[in-house]
Chain A
Amino acid sequence: MIEFRIDRRSGVATYQQLVDQTKHALRLGLLRPGDQLPTAKQVVAATAINPNTVLKAYRELEREGLVEGKRGMGTFVSASLAQPDAGELREQLTDWVRRARADGLDREYVEALFKAELDAHY
């Protein structure tokens, strides 16, 4: 079962942190369809946040079709965010980064290049 971590100083709304962490776990395959999310009581007993905040986060995840609340039973994962296998792409990226370094490009420049390409295509 997923365990939430709340950072009160992050400036990100608490319910958004719960949504983001659930999606992150879905992407990494740590949560799979059929898995149960902790109940609001379990979350607040561990984190001392407002139970209404947990319910709000779960409603948001439900709206996005990622989880499903079952009356009297709890909230369950209903969709996967796992990505297709990226093994080959990752090898190519490793080669590319090695070449960039060998050619003397500094890290900040590579990051800027990468971000510009991401922004252009996503």
Chain B
Amino acid sequence: MTTYALDATALGMRYRRGWGLRDCEFQLPTGRISALIGPNGAGKSTLMRLATGLLRPTTGSIRVLGEEPGRHGTHRKLAFLAQDKPLYRGFTVAEMLRAGAVLNPSWDDEYAWRLVREADVPPQAKVGTLSGGQRTRVALAIALGRRPEVVLLDEPLADLDPLAREDVMRTLMAEVADSGMTVVLSSHVIADLDGVCDHLLLLAGGRVRLQGDVEDLLAQHRVLIGSRELVMPDGVVEARTTERQATVIARTGPVPGWEADEPSLEELAMAYLRSARAVAA
């Protein structure tokens, strides 16, 4: 039996205001870099918190490397970097790393320090005085210092300038090349993840709308352009029409009469997000 990095069955999370996630089924194979895409409030952070065990599901289950997060807390081989990158602002970088060492049984001190040195962050600097990019690099060093097999990063690039984004992604990808760890990156900026992710999990309104290998998904869909008189193909995700022309994104192969192209990741994701919104409205 295959062990997945993440494996959700009928996963649901109900808050007082309503369902944050509902009936989610998905599998993330190990060794992949997965994009967790969805608008704000789609359930991305809820999903990550369920995987860490910080939240308990209302229905169903989520397994991390085959195990449900239980009373022992977060899976030993899972690391999670929350969106607000929780670091103690009054601590120095060196003190933050010492805290990481004390709190994590599988801590690799040499490795964490190497990541901090490569980021050119002064060890005696107070965390509160660091730039956004430096703070992210320190938080990443602490997350990776656990030597995780699965790392969940919630909007790691939000509030970083383009150079810092590039630095963070280069560091992360180099570490993935060494360790082969599974990565889940959430973002609402799809362009940030194009070319980086080989797996996609698209959430909208608390449900999984699309999942799978990025290349397979792109190959299974077509952007079709043709006369609006033409018969619509099967598997339409989204169709837009003007007086004469129709532009359709569909899960289909080539269709006679239509001009067909493979969509880009952004086109595909946007079509699914718009169609989910249209259904909700």
Contact = CB atoms under 8 A, between A and B. Distances in A.
Interface in B7-39: 31-33
A48 B198 CA distance: 13
Contacts of B197: 50
Given A40-B177, A41-B177, A51-B176, A46 B170 contact: yes
Main secondary structure of the interface of A (DSSP, over half): helix
A54 B173 CA distance: 11
Interface of B: 31-33, 166, 169-171, 173-174, 176-178, 191, 194-198, 215, 264
B153 to A, nearest CB: 14
Contacts of B194: 8
Nearest to A6: B195
Interface of A: 6, 8, 11, 13-14, 39-41, 44-54
Given A11-B264, A40-B177, A41-B178, A48 B215 contact: no
Nearest to B176: A51
6 contacts: A8-B195, A44-B173, A47-B170, A49-B196, A52-B33, A54-B177
A48 B178 contact: no
B196 A51 contact: no
A48 B176 contact: no
A50 B191 CA distance: 14
A53 B198 contact: yes
B198 A52 contact: yes
A50 B198 CA distance: 8
Q: Which of A13, A41, A48, A54 has the most CB of B within 10 A?
A: A48
B265 to A, nearest CB: 10
B185 to A, nearest CB: 11
A50 B196 contact: yes
Given A8-B195, A13-B215, A41-B178, A48 B173 contact: yes
Contacts of A48: 166, 169-170, 173, 196
B195 A50 contact: yes
